[in-house]
């Protein structure tokens, strides 16, 4: 079977750096931090009191007010980002075969805010006061479900749950559906809304979060010697993926092409990465092989780069293993230094960044890089964006449970 080419024709973000692509990209390339004190709840008594929250977001701008009450915040994000992405793509869904439009999203946690609220109702008011919408608001697949319901999309509808690799898995599986021509269009990406008391307390208990409360904008410092944990974020990122044939028929704008997808599992530990980086090496090699390219053809890697001591070291080790001497001169930036870590939504946001990097020829920086770590001796594009042509970019996602996903994006040429 002849594989179809797959292209990115639209993007939408609801992020700590903005709720439209132009603002998001401007803030990203200027090295702006989305971090600040937590405002979603009172964090007094928490060891970590900072996060990268979405600002100036009114879901009623995107969703009917009656329906809003029946959705969790992560679904609000997903629907809003989808509306933005569809408008960006110029895709009128009433003019396409909606039996062949799929939705494949990723979310590592789903409706955590709803779960907490309804648990409090149970404890304080009793079981008969639980909302009938509790379960459909909470379950992680409802972001994808609500998108399909809103737009009448009857194609494949799937939700990937693989922790921080969720939305990269979603994009990879969307890529396969389109390659095989099972779908013409797939709305893909991820959404997460984990900034809740239970969410923050849980990550604190794992010792995963930074506690640099006095300088939120400096807290996330991937690959830096003084990194002490990740900065949690929230938001959604949606990409409109199409077969090239479908996109060209409607004369769509094309940002980039997806040409490779590789996955693996560390099979090592529930949260810690394999220090040898072996699982990540497998995913990198499989993605490169799937893309039918050689390692020396890669121009940029958007690293998973969470700013954790073990994670960044293992990822750097994997990159050096795969790219050898080239690794010293290969730009590898972590944009989580600015956006925070969107957990299951991270891969989608960083896929958009890869496509925009290719489209604009600007590599976003890793901010807060001050103290080089000899074990992470990569070109991390420190502190300032770099104007440079990028023809091929990789997007790394590495999740709790040992899930590894790598996507390969390429400059579009007819």
Active-site residues, by number, are: 164, 304, 341
Strands (E), 64-123: 101-106
Q: Where are the beta strands (DSSP E) in 193-244?
A: 235-243
Cβ-defined contacts of 53-58 (< 8 Å, 24+)? 53/16, 53/195, 53/233, 53/234, 54/14, 54/15, 54/16, 54/19, 54/234, 54/235, 55/16, 56/19, 57/14, 57/19
Find out whether 190 and 346 touch, Cβ atoms under 8 Å.
yes
Name the phi and psi angles at 198, rounded to 5. -70, -40
Q: What is the DSSP string of 118-130?
A: HHHHHHHH-GGGS
| Angle ∠(393,399,400) on CA atoms, nearest 5 | 165
CA–CA separation, 35 vs 30, rounded Å?
15
């Amino acid at each position: 079977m002849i594989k179809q080419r797959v292209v990115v024709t639209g993007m939408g973000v609801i992020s700590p750096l903005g709720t439209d692509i132009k603002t998001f990209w401007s803030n990203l390339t200027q090295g702006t931090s989305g971090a600040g004190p937590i405002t979603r709840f009172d964090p007094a008594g928490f060891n970590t009191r900072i996060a990268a929250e979405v600002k100036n977001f009114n879901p009623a701008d995107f969703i009917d007010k009656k329906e809003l009450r029946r959705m969790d915040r992560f679904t609000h994000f997903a629907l809003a980002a989808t509306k933005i992405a569809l408008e960006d793509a110029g895709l009128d869904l009433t003019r396409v075969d909606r039996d062949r439009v799929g939705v494949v999203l990723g979310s590592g946690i789903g409706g955590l805010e709803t779960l907490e609220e309804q648990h409090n109702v149970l404890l304080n008011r009793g079981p008969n006061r639980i909302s009938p919408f509790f379960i459909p608001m909470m379950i992680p697949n409802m972001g994808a479900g609500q998108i399909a319901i809103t737009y009448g999309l009857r194609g494949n509808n799937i939700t990937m749950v693989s922790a921080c690799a969720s939305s990269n898995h979603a994009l990879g599986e969307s890529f396969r559906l389109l390659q095989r021509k099972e779908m013409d269009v797939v709305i893909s990406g991820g959404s997460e809304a984990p900034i809740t008391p239970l969410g923050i307390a849980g990550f604190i208990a794992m010792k995963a979060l930074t506690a640099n409360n006095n300088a939120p904008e400096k807290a996330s410092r991937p690959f830096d010697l003084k990194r002490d944990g990740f900065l949690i974020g929230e938001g959604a990122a949606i990409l409109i993926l199409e077969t090239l044939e479908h996109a060209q028929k409607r004369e769509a704008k094309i940002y980039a092409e997806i040409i490779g997808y590789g996955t693996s599992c560390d099979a090592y530990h529930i949260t810690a990465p394999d220090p040898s980086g072996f699982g990540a090496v497998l995913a990198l090699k499989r993605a490169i092989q799937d893309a039918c390219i050689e390692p020396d053809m890669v121009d940029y890697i958007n690293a998973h780069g969470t700013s954790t001591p073990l994670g960044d070291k293992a990822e750097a080790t994997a990159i050096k293993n795969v790219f050898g001497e080239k690794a010293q001169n290969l730009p590898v930036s972590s944009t989580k230094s600015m956006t925070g870590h969107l957990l299951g939504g991270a891969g989608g946001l960083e896929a958009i960044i890869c496509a925009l990097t290719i489209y604009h020829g600007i590599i976003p920086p890793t901010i807060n890089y001050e103290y080089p770590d000899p074990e992470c001796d990569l070109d991390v594009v420190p502190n300032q964006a770099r104007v440079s042509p990028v023809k091929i970019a990789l997007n790394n996602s590495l999740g709790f449970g040992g899930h590894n996903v790598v996507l390969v994006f390429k400059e579009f040429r007819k």
